[in-house]
Amino acid sequence: MPGGNIIYKGKVTNRSWSELPPEIIRLIATSFAYASAESAYVPETWEQNHFWLNRVIYTAIRDAKSMEVLMNICPKWTAAVATHPVWHHLVQVLDPGNMYLRHNPAVVHHPPYYHYRAIWHYSCVICRINSPQNSKGVGVAERVINTPNLGSCSICREHRGHRAAFCGLCLREAQPYELDTTLDPNYAVFCMANEDDETWPGVDATCRSCRAEWLWKSVCQHPKEREAVGGRKLRSNDWETKTTVDCFVDLGEGSINDVINLALERYWLRKHTRLPDMMSQALAASRLIGHATDEDLEELSSEIDEEDEDDMEFLQMTEDSGVKDLALGDWARHRILDGHWISPADQWYGNKTWPVRAVHPCPWTVENDRDDEDAQGEEEHPTRAVLREEMPPSFSLCELAFQAHRKQMRIVLLPAMKNIVRRLVIECGADGVDPAIRATKMSMDDVMKELRDEAVWFDGVDWLERRRNARREEMQARTPREEGSDDHASTTGSSSGKSSDESSVMSPVLSTSTLQTTPSPPPSTDGKDQTAKRRPVTIAVDPVLNPPRLLHPIPYVPLMAAHLPQFSMEAFKGVWREACQPLYHCRCSICERAMAKAQAVAAAAARPQYNPDTNHGDQIQQQDHKPTQTPTQIELHEVNEVVNSDARSDTLEYDEDEQLDDEYELDEDAKSDASLRRTVYTPPRQVERTRSRSPSPRRLEAGLAAEVPWLHSQALSPRKRSVDEMDETTRTTGKDDRDTSYHHRGEPGTPPKRPRVLSPALSPSPELHDKLDLQNSPTRLRKRSSEDLDSDVEHGKRIKMSGEEDSVSGDSPPVSTSLSESDDVGDESVVRVGAPAIGAATIPRSATPHDKVINSASLKPPPPPVAKRKIPLPGQGWKRSNDDDQ
């Protein structure tokens, strides 16, 4: 054939698909492009009619990606596909203004594919898709990004810095006119940051259309999930599901898995619980408040079906307040009452179990709705609907259902189990047996058997009377059988009479010696005597009621407990353990008396106490009446005794030698005692003037407080006389009470004013805020010489008042008041004479200028030498001594 063209005729075995002509390869590429375009994915964003040009550019770029796949087969296919007409269409779409036409001059004819690749590489794909009417984005590409649908794409600088400005799935960006939603709601893009990295990894933002599309693609293959989210339009009847779906679609909150899980939870609650009814009743009740007239009620009935934002908020608050827990509790309660005691936790973890038939302890209490009682009685429990019920779809909801199951198991079974424990206590108390031991020997099957007894579902049953009746019936049932056996034995007794007589003749007779040597058997003790000796166990139980009260509700009880898995058995054991708690309480005599008293009070409260003949007003008046307490009478007495803080008993008169010895002894005692005040204790009727040790200070203070009850009150709140009273006393007695040379004790009338005796300043509280200096302490004494005593007279800083008992006149008991050698004129308080040594009140006085100087300088002057001086009591003269002569 001329032209050197090769014509193949017949069968040729050395040719392959790589040697096909270019026309055939382009024909194959065209067919492949049509087939891929029909099945390729297009985002729903570009399905709108007004986005037709955007869809054309998007599909053209998508088809170009599929055509490039054919070019990678072999070099001949690459050359053949590079001249396909589809590239002219792509170039015209991407570069409508022919800005890159210079790359294809007329001299050199490049294939259109390379021209398309040049435009694709230097153009921003996002700008070209969103602006198909112009040449925006051509030649401005700077960076390449990866997209889930189109692969690698070039973007410009503007989109590079604002990744959240466009959707990473459909590459649509927000338009300037999308803010005017009244024009068309479809213009709203709602590009939000991507929070679902599991579904769209590497995507920075998504649009509303892509989120709704992918949500539906995730649930469309499962009928349950499709119904849970509300169908293709995503319109659910549940308020929380609807709110969650809208927040995800419009605002991008959460992830697709979270939305599906919540929708399944709400779908399970709507299908298996009474939550919708409870929420609707709560909503209707809230709307009914405030509607009083008929017109308002008619408007309310018309608005019930309408949706309102306030209703959504109210439903959320209502559910948060505990309606969800109530719905789960009702669901668990229904399962338990039907005899299905399997915990939701066992179903979640797949623990092995099998259905067990359940019976009702009190079948006569079951209300039959059907007319056919036989069919109602033959119905097995638990029912198939309960057995085939689905478990909660999520772990959080299953955990709430598990807690509700445990709570309802306790509510339903605890009263009956308490009656079982009450029966053990009463019967074991009568038998003298510890009920705790019998309770520990009971297995769960035994407890289940007791629950199937109808008597445990009554409160206040008399178990002892019931046991006596049961034994009496058993004896009556046993008597006819014994009479029949006695008649049968009488017919056979005559034939055996002869043999019995012969055997009795041949039996040996015991001798007297044998009787004497045979030990007597132990005395038989009756079981009642043994139980009477045992100490009864006192456990508080509920009183007996007449008639007993039926419990409610009463569940179907399974025939065995072996089918219960781990969590179900733990819930059952927990209720039984709580019911047995009174058996293990303290049983000491104190606790037993307290429990017996509480039991008696409960029994008295259970009996009716209302008397119609008694006036109710009198009862209220008697209850409100309270016995008045006798007011405490305070009596004031004169001082008879004064307590010494050093617990010593001293006489009134001292010799000089004895005084030195006493001061030495006081010096030794003061080292061990930190008391700041000392007084002299003088017995009221002391005849012998001998020195003796007094009892302990605590006993003296206790005795003195008992004899002189006004001592503490007077020391705390002394009475200060007025000037008129002092002048009246001076005119009557002829003596000035303000004179410190004497002091009255035991005189009738108004008590004299206390003498202004100088003493160290003490704080009214027993606490010492300042640390005491041991060297300058007022209780730190030393033995002085005669020179020191002479110097005391010169300084005149010590005052000692002593009195002798006047046997002639007997005006007042002998009292002695002394001051320590550390007393200073500058101190601001005086010790109350006759007050207790510990906690005695101090009497402040005004400070002199000299005292203020010393206090401001915070210096303690050294203790001045003490002067000894005697002052006679009233009615006595001066007693001359050696000191006066000196």
Mean pLDDT of the region 106-128: 83
* pLDDT single digits (tens) 92-108: 888 888 877 765 555 56
168-208: per-residue pLDDT in tens?
A: 999 998 766 544 555 566 667 889 999 999 999 999 999 99
Rounded Cα gap, residues 701 and 679, in angstroms: 13
What does the pLDDT look like over 281-310, one tens digit per residue?
877 777 776 554 555 555 555 554 455 555
Q: What is the chain's length?
A: 886
- Between 48 and 646, the more confident residue is 48
Question: Which among 640, 806, 816, 681 is positioned nearest to 743, based on CA atoms?
Answer: 816
Q: Which residue has the higher pLDDT, 631 or 83?
A: 83
Q: What is the pLDDT of residues 863-880, one digit of tens each?
A: 555 555 555 555 454 444
| Residue range 576-625, pLDDT digits in tens | 999 999 888 887 888 878 878 887 888 888 765 555 444 444 444 444 44
Least confident interval from 8-12, 123-127, 351-355, 772-776: 772-776
Amino acid found at 344: P
Average pLDDT of span 43-67: 88
What does the alpha-carbon distance between residue 46 and residue 531 come to, in Å, rounded to a whole number?
95
Alpha-carbon distance of 547 to 459, in angstroms, equals 9
The mean pLDDT value of the chain amounts to 70
Residues 6+ apart with CB under 8 A from 185: none
pLDDT over 90 (residue 844): no
| Contact by Cβ (8 Å): 76, 70 | no
834: left (phi over 0), alpha (psi -120 to 50) or beta: left
What was the pLDDT predicted at 790?
A: 63
pTM of model > 0.75: no
Measure the CA–CA gap between 344 and 324, rounded to whole angstroms. Answer: 17
pLDDT confidence of residue 73: 87
Q: β-strand 829-831 against 817-818: which pairing, if any?
A: unpaired
Query: CA quadruple 528, 532, 533, 536: dihedral positive or negative?
Result: positive
Q: Span 319-335, mean pLDDT? A: 86
φ, ψ dihedrals at 151, nearest 5°: 75, -140
Q: Is the pLDDT of residue 218 over 90?
A: yes
Question: What's the pLDDT band for 257 if we cut at 50, 70, 90?
Answer: very high
Tell me the pLDDT band of 884, cut-offs 50, 70 and 90. Answer: very low
Q: What percent of the chain stands above pLDDT 70? A: 52
**Residue 545 banded pLDDT, cuts 50, 70, 90:** confident
pLDDT-wise least confident of 345-359, 536-550, 616-630: 616-630
DSSP 743: -
Confidence class of residue 759 from pLDDT cuts 50, 70 and 90? very low
Q: What band does 319 get if pLDDT is binned at 50, 70 and 90? A: low
Q: Tell me which of 324 and 717 has the higher pLDDT.
A: 324
Going by C-alpha positions, the residue among 196, 240, 186 that lies closest to residue 218 is 196
* Per-residue pLDDT at 532: 44
In this structure, of 251-255, 381-385, 651-655, the range with the lowest mean pLDDT score is 651-655
pLDDT in tens, 149-165: 998 999 999 898 888 88
Of the pLDDT bands very low, low, confident and very high (cuts 50, 70, 90), residue 343 is very high
* Distance separating alpha carbons of residues 209 and 73, to the nearest angstrom: 37
In this prediction, what percent of the chain has a pLDDT beyond 90?
A: 27
User: Does 535 score more than 80 pLDDT?
Assistant: no
Higher-confidence position of 643 and 428: 428
* Six token digits for residue 406: 């445990």
Strand partners, 458: 550
Q: What is the pLDDT of residues 429-482, one digit of tens each?
A: 888 888 999 999 999 999 999 999 999 999 989 999 988 988 888 888 877 766
Rounded Cα distance, 435 and 428, in Å: 6
